[in-house]
Amino acid sequence: MQDAAIQVLVGARLATLADPVDGPGAVVIAGERIAWVGPQAALPADYASAPRRDCEGRLVTPAFIDCHTHLVHGGHRAREFEMRLEGASYEEIARAGGGIVSTVAATRTASEDALLAQALPRLDALLAEGVSCVEVKSGYGLDVETELRMLRVARRLERERPVRVVTSFLGAHAIPAEYAGRADAYLDEICLPALHAAHAEGLVDAVDGFCEGIAFSADQMARVFAEAKRLGLPVKLHAEQLSHQGGTALAARCGALSADHVEYATEDDARAMAAAGTVAVLLPGAYYFIRETQAPPVAAFRAHGVKMAVATDANPGSSPLTSLLLAMNMACTLFRLTPEEALAGVTANAARALGLEDTGRIARGLRADLAIWDVETPAELAYRIGFNPLHARIFAGRS
């Protein structure tokens, strides 16, 4: 390996999310990967002449991962925000023709270039806070053409910015107006054909859905998941956000990567998720924005060893949030996560929620996706509100 490809971070306070390092730490980066990590005093002599970057006591963490977003969409829903302030519930707005369906109308009329132009500022806000990887869902097309367009835009984000994008097909997000009262027909005629077309085009990394009274039942989602299995695709699910519909149990039975929202999950659900290795993705932005009152059963997740991730749920209707730092603070203040749990939630556990094994921790052989912070302790990342202490972001070994 060429010396020019090697760089060494020294003088770092390391939050590895893997093996702990006491005292000043060092990280050796070789190309796009981490070649060595440990106490600076134990730095191998092989790297004595390599270029060094002194972190001067700053905290170094894995770069952040936003494992649940809807970054690609048309329009906004500021008027619905006003309606909620006037007393309307999220469900009432959705049943009156607002909610997801209103964003569908704006997304269907937007070109690929227009959707890209609208998504990039949202992505830039995340990158500015040390994010290296984002999950991006479809689900605002609800027809074959627009679902494919959204996923193509998600793939284009990687070409426009130094970021890793993981895509989720979310055709089972809502029932479009033209299929009102005919959810099964929508699945047969639009959702499943769109899934096959997207898979054939190489646009899908996972399959998601919305299991809720205003969307799809657990039985209907089971059909979608069966098709995903036939295509060899992992699954995840929006589950138990507004009520308990059995989505979390379904996700666990299907070995889902994650069950997301999970405000109405039960202790039995937590037990099933732990057995399946399904990550609970907590989305405090949506809980806050639509003024929910039932918090996820964090104590049950802890008791049964369920891994908890934290994400923005960046979307136009229920969580117009593009700050993982704020999501961490919300997860602590609203859901009572510890700062350490919040940090794991946007790094190691977020990687688990996406099925990624090469990122989310600082360890030999993993990707050199790192964030250097002007703070002394991990708690400071979740503590501040509206302040970004990022000093530098390293993506695949490059600043």
Task: Return the DSSP state at 134.
Answer: E
The pairing of beta strand 6-14 with beta strand 131-137 = unpaired
Burial 120-149 (b: 16+ CB within 10 A, else e): bebbebbbebbbbbbbbbbbbbbbbebbbb
Binding site residues for Zn(2+), as ranges? 68, 70, 238, 313
Binding site residues for N-formimidoyl-L-glutamate, as ranges? 140, 315, 317
Binding site residues for 4-imidazolone-5-propanoate, as ranges? 77, 140, 173, 241, 318
Interatomic CA distance for residues 344 and 146, integer angstroms: 35
State phi, psi for 165 to the nearest 5 degrees.
Answer: -115, 130
Interatomic CA distance for residues 173 and 95, integer angstroms: 14
Alpha helices for the chain (secondary structure H): 78-85, 90-95, 100-108, 112-127, 144-160, 183-186, 192-200, 218-230, 247-253, 267-276, 284-289, 298-304, 324-335, 339-345, 348-353, 379-383
The token pair at 392 is 């530098």
How many other C-beta atoms can be found within 10 angstroms of the C-beta atom of residue 48? 9
Report yes or no: 130 and 390 within 8 Å, Cβ to Cβ.
Answer: yes
Binding site residues for Fe(3+), as ranges? 68, 70, 238, 313
The pairing of beta strand 25-30 with beta strand 6-14 = antiparallel
Binding site residues, as ranges? 68, 70, 77, 140, 173, 238, 241, 313, 315, 317-318
- Largest interatomic CA distance in the chain: 69
Nearest Cα neighbor of 187 from 235, 227, 244 is 227
